[in-house]
Amino acid sequence: MAEGIGTVLVLGATADIGRAIARAFAAGGHALQLAARDRARLEHEARDIRVRASAPVALYGCDVLADAGGAALVDELDPLPDVAVCVIGLLDGRAERDRDIAARVMRTNYLGPSLLLGALAERFEKRGSGVLVGVSSVAGDRGRASNCVYGSAKAGFSAYLSGLRNRLAASGVHVVTVKPGYVRTRMTDGMDLPAPLAATPDEVADAVVRAVRRRRDVIYVRPIWRWIMLVVRVIPERAFKRLKL
């Protein structure tokens, strides 16, 4: 087991990226806590991990859109994990034209995960140790016409993680922001993703494990995205409005 990492909580463990992250940590000998809405899929994933890695796996229900949000989950965790990785998110192209879907996208990508990680941060801060990982998106680096709802939610989440990282810096708690770029998952199925820019879930998982061990602050899973988004951010607004992005 890697030094400094014990039990790992994966929030959104039935998503493709969540499953890959859970398997990567299990392969390193870490005990797992998996949380998601779908208990049946969680059970299936737990069986698979136990066969692959013989790692102890505990399962928890978690719905960040429920009235209680993630608060109930935090009270149930036993033990309190050493690392918590949040991959909860939702991409839905209809959000630009549908108010209800837009609200769901915003709550799933920003409000719910932020409140849940905030609740965990309180426990970690009181203990004086731990790592919180939030999987955000390059879409939050600058608002674009094609995904302003999703992008704005991810921008909020990235800003929250940044603030949390700075608030907890002296407490022994570290916060990592992960920006994958395009990832080949069920959520992007059918999209024409450029090969040089599209990662796999396993690639994201490996990057997350390295970031936790090295206590990185902000990572782009494929380094090329750092430079792409740097260019996107410096384009003057007057010119940016004319681009079809």
Closest CA to 34 of 71, 7, 66: 7
- Please pick, among 150, 160, 182, 220, the residue that the annotation labels catalytic: 150
Q: Is the backbone peptide bond immediately before 79 cis, with ω within 30 degrees of 0? A: yes
**DSSP secondary structure string for all residues of the chain:** --TT---EEEETTTSHHHHHHHHHHHHTT--EEEEES-HHHHHHHHHHHHHHH---EEEEE--TTSTTTTHHHHHH-SSPPSEEEE------GGGGT-HHHHHHHHIIIIIHHHHHHHHHHHHHHHHT-EEEEEE--GGGSS--GGGHHHHHHHHHHHHHHHHHHHHHTTTTEEEEEEE--EE-SGGGTT----GGGEE-HHHHHHHHHHHHHHT-SEEESSTHHHHHHHHHHHS-HHHHTTS--
Is 150 tagged catalytic?
A: yes
User: What are the catalytic residues?
Assistant: 150
